[in-house]
Structure 1
Amino acid sequence: MLIIIGVLFAGGGGAILIPGTVVRGIERIQDKDGFLAAGSLALSTDGYALSSPAGDPLELPGGTPAVPFEFVTLRVTVTSTDKPVFMGIGAQRDIDRYLGGVEHSEVEGLNTFSSSAEYRHVDGGAPTLPPGELDIWVAEATGSAPQEMQWSLTPGEWGMVVMNADGGAGVDVEMNIAARSGLIAPAANFLTVLGWTLFLLGVAAVIAGGVLLGVGQSGLRTPR
């Protein structure tokens, strides 16, 4: 029985070490600031804005408990080919109001391996105001040089918009999205420690079971 328990513990520990090794590998390929980049993508639209899907916002439930470390921080870098660019993150409901009736493209699918994207075109006209004149953004960046924006995920439903700074039509940018989380290091440590603990306990149980089995068999032997 002890041998069976040991095999189960050792097998479970080995199974836990696999995702622990994967998480540890993710930790090692982060950049010097702790971000894991998804790669660059060329995005464009003939409309007035590129946006995240209105029906699929970046969401963190309001009841999410506070944690003593960074949950998720996004870093977005955008480079425009020929015009000053604006990018901003705001509440999805505010973005819906701003882009209501505005011709734009929702970026629904990103493939960093092929550097391609899928779009859903929304018909409309021009925006009433350039994006930088609104106070709906929780994070924003604008300018003609490559622009970088960082934002820590908080409870709510959020969306992102990329436009020309003047609000004009024809948006053509290169975007790089990266993420950083304080969960990665604790998760790697926990899985590694738990996996090795179970594995070593299992090995010890198998050895002890084997010793006890040998002693028991010796005691059952008939003396000559």
Structure 2
Amino acid sequence: MRKVVLGLIGGLLILSGAIAMFFGALLVGVFGGDGRIDTDPVRINSTATALSSDIARIDAGLPSGFNFAEVYISATSVSGKDVFVGVGPARDVLSYLSGVPYDVVTDVSGRPGDEDSINLRRVRGEGTPPAPSAEAFWVEQSSGSGRQDISWPIKSGKYLFVVMNADGSPNVDVQATVGISAPWLFSAGLGAVIAGLVLIILGAVSLFFGFRKGKNRPELVYATPGSSVANDETAVDRPSYVANPPVTPGEAATEPAQSPPREADESAP
């Protein structure tokens, strides 16, 4: 029964350790040492006034002050115009874009840099919005010439990401990259690998003690005076030794018929 229990425990420990090492190595391999993963640059060319993400509904129940992860967005104008990148509460962003023609990016697939790999959904309108950088509802924003980057710590709520020309004019032509950073994932992955290795070692030790063979102990043989075992002169060559039988109350103990063999005392004359 002991062997079965130790074998079962050892097997479960090794299996758990292997799973922990697999997922830990996966996190380390995907996010790397800086805990960041980015998409390939993708060009988006639209005749609309703005490019928007789908509404990001985040209900993570994160404790206040805990930086679970950060989303990175960078955009570089291909047309040479100044570009704006921002993220804000969905209600405020939709109110700002109300009556304005804009495209919602619904999917990014295919080859990097290929315009046909972008799926857009047009929201119709005819208005022209004011310059986005003048609005106060953005939680993160960046505008200007060249590459513009924002990083936004993920928070619970509904948010929209927007890329547009800095002056609010139509015909947005940019090359964009999106990424996510969670530095703690690398530490978590490394910890999972180490924990998995420890579990595997413990499982191997459990299997070793569960299935190892015990040492052969000499057999204790009881003999009575005059028995064949007591009179057998070759008994000393056996892996057992002869001893007196248990003494019951009222009986006198007898001398042992034969004692276990002992090494000769070399100091004797």
- For 1:120 and 1:29, locate their aligned partners in 2 and report how far apart those are by CA, in whole Å: 37
- For 2:65 and 2:38, locate their aligned partners in 1 and report how far apart those are by CA, in whole Å: 24
| Greater fraction of residues in strand | 1
- What is aligned with 1:23? 27
Question: Structure 1 residues 119 and 130, CA, compared in 2 at 3 Å: closer, same or farther?
Answer: same
- What is aligned with 1:80? 77
- Please give the per-residue CA displacement for 1:86-108, whole angstroms capped at 9, x wherever unaligned: 11110011111111221110001
- For 2:182 and 2:16, locate their aligned partners in 1 and report how far apart those are by CA, in whole Å: 27
Question: Structure 1 residues 182 and 97, CA, compared in 2 at 3 Å: closer, same or farther?
Answer: same
- What is aligned with 2:11? 7
Q: List gaps (5 residues or longer) in structure 2.
A: 220-238, 241-269
- Please give the per-residue CA displacement for 1:15-51, whole angstroms capped at 9, x wherever unaligned: 2111111112234364xxx532211111121111100
Superposed counterparts of 1:43-192, under 5 Å: 43-53=44-54, 57-61=55-59, 63-66=61-64, 70-82=67-79, 83-111=81-109, 113-115=111-113, 116-192=117-193
TM-score (structure 2 length as normaliser)? 0.72
Is the partner of 2:99 in helix, strand or coil?
Answer: coil
State which drifts further: 187-196 or 73-82. 187-196
Q: Does the Cα contact within 8 Å between 2:25 and 2:190 map onto a contact in 1? A: no
Code of the aligned partner of 1:184: L
Is the partner of 1:185 in helix, strand or coil?
Answer: helix
Q: Does the Cα contact within 8 Å between 2:62 and 2:68 map onto a contact in 1? A: no
Flag the structure with larger Rg.
2
State which drifts further: 156-165 or 121-130. 121-130
Question: Structure 1 residues 35 and 166, CA, compared in 2 at 3 Å: closer, same or farther?
Answer: same
Q: Which has the higher contact order (CA 8 A, sep 6+)?
A: 1
- What is aligned with 1:215? 214
TM-score (structure 1 length as normaliser)? 0.85
The CA RMSD measured in Å over matched residues stands at 2.3
- For 1:124 and 1:60, locate their aligned partners in 2 and report how far apart those are by CA, in whole Å: 28
The offset of 1:196, in angstroms, is 1.4
Code of the aligned partner of 1:4: L
Q: Does the Cα contact within 8 Å between 1:50 and 1:107 map onto a contact in 2? A: yes
- Please give the per-residue CA displacement for 1:64-119, whole angstroms capped at 9, x wherever unaligned: 22465x31112221111121111111001111111122111000112275442111
Code of the aligned partner of 2:120: Y
Is the partner of 1:26 in helix, strand or coil?
Answer: helix
Q: List gaps (5 residues or longer) in structure 1.
A: none
Code of the aligned partner of 1:5: I
State which drifts further: 178-187 or 44-53. 178-187
State which drifts further: 101-110 or 1-10. 1-10
